[in-house]
Amino acid sequence: MTELPDCLYCRKDQRLQDLMIEIGPMQVSTLYLFKEQTYRGRCVVAYRAHVNELFELPPSELTLFTQDVARAAKAMKAAFNPAKINYGAYSDKLPHLHMHLVPKYVDGPSWGAPFAMMPEPKQLLSAVDYADLIARLRPHLA
């Protein structure tokens, strides 16, 4: 058996649970709700296999990953009605392909500017509020 890389997305360990809540599987990815909710409804789409760059995907997988990102963004638009969704693919310190989907609202945090990856102070919610966001999103993922 091959050991998993020391990657929170691959191991799905406490590091991941501290940052995100799994919403569910997609075609080739997993959708997560980011716990830091300065940008209400922020999610992450993480590719299931351990790769770091888009160009590492075979064309068919790249298409499916892009479809997963688009499907999640469309669901976020329907559920939360942001003015714009920002996309961020950062993995300098976490070499695993994932895309941040960040809803932006007019007159909201960072409107007209890049979103802050880890804003301070952190906007953490109650378990009930996280469940509500996920419940609002899920019907639009079908």
Max CA pair span of the chain: 51
Q: Which domains does the chain have, with CATH numbers?
A: 8-141 (3.30.428.10)
Amino acid at 27: Q
Q: Is 0.85 topped by the overall pTM?
A: yes
**pLDDT tens digit sequence for 130-139:** 999 999 999 9
43-97 pLDDT tens trace: 999 999 999 999 999 999 999 999 999 999 999 999 999 999 999 998 888 899 9
Angle at the Cα of 8 (from 100 to 94), degrees rounded to 5?
A: 60
Rounded mean pLDDT of the chain?
A: 95
